[in-house]
């Protein structure tokens, strides 16, 4: 069964450093998403991406965040200058068409900012 692959599974970074979280969505999917889950809390939407542009973003997704689909297969989330409060699990997901088709989630990247 096709999978969404996220790397790395765990990343530790120093406050103020830039990090890039990588995702390989399912190849024929059209919609891509990033979600965040702070430890012990709910899963929160960050951004959706369709047709090579952001289609929706939440208030969490400020100027420190950016997304890119650099080569037609990878989908990346960049945090420019990490803060302690960016420590969380980040999930990538892809979909053929949103809720009607369902979503496939990756297994997540646990980001720890020290």
Partner 1 sequence: AQKVTQAQTEISVVEKEDVTLDCVYETRDTTYYLFWYKQPPSGELVFLIRRNSFDEQNEISGRYSWNFQKSTSSFNFTITASQVVDSAVYFCALSEEETSGSRLTFGEGTQLTVNP
Contacts to partner 1 from residues 37-66, by CB under 8 A: 41-45, 48-50, 55-56, 58
**How many other C-beta atoms can be found within 10 angstroms of the C-beta atom of residue 2?**
11
Contacts to partner 1 from residues 1-30, by CB under 8 A: none
**How many other C-beta atoms can be found within 10 angstroms of the C-beta atom of residue 108?**
19
Shortest Cβ 86–partner 1 spacing (Å): 17
Q: What angle is formed at CA 94 by the lines to CA 23 and CA 38, rounded to 5 degrees?
A: 65
Residue of 27, 59, 71, 100 interacting with partner 1 (CB under 8 A): 100
> What order of strands is seen across the sheet that includes strand 65-68?
5-7, 19-24, 75-79, 65-68
For residue 98, state whether it binds partner 1 (rule: CB under 8 A).
yes
Binding site for partner 1 (CB under 8 A): 31, 33, 35, 41-45, 48-50, 55-56, 58, 89, 91, 93, 95, 97-100, 102-105, 107-108, 110
């Amino acid at each position: 069964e096709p999978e969404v692959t996220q790397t790395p599974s765990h990343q530790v970074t120093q406050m103020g450093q830039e990090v890039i979280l990588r995702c390989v969505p399912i190849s024929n999917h059209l919609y891509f998403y990033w979600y965040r889950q702070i430890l012990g809390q709910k899963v929160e939407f960050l951004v959706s991406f369709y047709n090579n542009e952001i289609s929706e973003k939440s208030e969490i997704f400020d100027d420190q965040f950016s997304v890119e689909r650099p080569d037609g297969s990878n989908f990346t989330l960049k945090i420019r200058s990490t803060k302690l409060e960016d420590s969380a699990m980040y999930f990538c997901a892809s979909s053929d068409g949103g809720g009607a088709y369902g979503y496939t989630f990756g297994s997540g990247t646990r980001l720890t900012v020290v």
